[in-house]
Amino acid sequence: MPSESHPSATCFALIPARGGSKRVPKKNVRPLAGHPLLAYTIAAARQSDVFAAVIVSTDSPEIADIARYYGAESPFLRPSAMAGDLSPDIEWVRYTLDTLEGMGRSCECFSLLRPTSPFRQPDTIRRAWQRFISSDSVDSLRAVELCRQHPGKMWVIEGDRMRPLLSDGPPDPPWHSMPYQALPRVYVQNASLEIAWRRTVSETGTIAGRSIQPFLTEGYEGFDVNEPRDWWFAEYLVTSGQAPLPTISLDPWSAAGAAAS
């Protein structure tokens, strides 16, 4: 196995795109600027030239067809038991890696690229990859950004009273009475990108492990479409030119056209 600073380590892109979505129905294949949302993550992954394979994990035959049209693989469907609202990532990641290995395809590391981050660019992935492979003794890398709602101003309600979520701050003045700019810098993970060594899953039973490296996203790279208002804002960012989408040279997906081709 290559060392953790070896740039030739084989990495697979794993794109989760289950069929069910309650808050934004069918969001993974809903058109944004003409193409299904999923298409932009596939395009960014392929154009990054980082991955030996770009694989979409889905429980939906329709999504699998769309993934193949845009140049990804979807060699098998995910079991429905691993595609629920509460299904943890480790289940489908382990299933996907184990099934691929059973097919004679193995990798040293993998990257989770969720289709709900359409403004992630090929260069975003390349920057993260270079940071990951140039670091020793890490289990994984995860995208983060500065939090907008600081946990120092968050509360836990107990009956008709409340207490600060964080109790280890200064007593005078407490964090909840300080301006945001004076608070410690705190980062929140976003859904755009994760990279981990294959051994992390085998040895820790998690997708992150214990030694996690931060990757700071820039601008709207980490923007996540999670609610209807996020979809509206994504459309606004595109039409206003504030956030470019990865380039797609194909004609927009059409089930009828794809079947006829």
**Domain locations in the chain?**
11-144+189-260, 148-185
Q: Is pLDDT at 6 greater than 50 in this prediction?
A: no
Residue 84 backbone dihedrals phi, psi, to 5 degrees: -90, 175
Beta bridge partners of 55: 14, 73
At residue 259, the pLDDT reads: 52
**Nearest partner of 237 among 248, 245, 227, 246, judged by Cα:** 245
Q: Is pLDDT at 12 greater than 60 in this prediction?
A: yes
Q: What is the pLDDT of residues 233-257, one digit of tens each?
A: 999 999 999 999 999 999 999 864 5
At residue 141, the pLDDT reads: 98
Superfamily name and number for 11-144+189-260: Spore Coat Polysaccharide Biosynthesis Protein SpsA; Chain A (3.90.550.10)
For the entire predicted model, the pTM comes to: 0.91
Please report where in the chains the tokens 């996907």 appear, as a residue. Answer: 96
